Structure 1
Amino acid sequence: MTRKCRKCGEEKYQDDQGQWFCPDCIQEEIDPAFLDEELDDRGELRRPYVLEPTTRQVSIRLPIADLELAKRLARRKGIPKYQSYIKTLLRRALVKEASGA
């Protein structure tokens, strides 16, 4: 499921906490002096690091049944990419474990 921003009409994205946001609208609200003015390899301005935290690609072997379940649950929740759903679940579990709950 995708959502459109009411303000600009662009596609909204879901963060790790399940909140929807529009990167274009957020970028307009940020002070231009704060933005990273370097160009990427396509000649476009990079987004501020606040919107895209540093990540590292990993490879994990998971049981097929778990992957199928994650895909079904992600579809049911309207999350287009099951990988995003798995990242959200992992993040919540890590925060919960770190807090000692």
Structure 2
Amino acid sequence: MGPIPWQDFGLAEHQMVCAEHDSSYTRRAVMPLTVTGYRNVNEMLASELRPRVSPATGSIWNRHHPNIYVPGVAGMRTSEVMWLINSARGLFTAR
């Protein structure tokens, strides 16, 4: 799996998302997918690679990935990784 293009996701932010192991919600650092990103991840990306982006949500007949989880980076806090991603994304969009 190659990198997901900058234009395929929005700014890193905290959101309440479905918990991975039960029916509750949890606060996670995510990058919401844009319209093109949603299509690329949910339709174009190989199905076996999609769980690496984020867990699927939705009903059993409509499983989808609405966002990308902010990855963990050894030695960095989540807030620092979010700042780094948002700064890099800002440089990309400024061009």
Q: Judging by fraction of residues, say which structure has more helix.
A: 1
| Higher Rg of the two aligned structures | 1
Alignment TM-score, normalising by the size of structure 2: 0.30
- Which structure ranks higher in relative contact order (CA pairs < 8 Å, sequence separation ≥ 6)? 2
Q: Judging by fraction of residues, say which structure has more strand.
A: 2
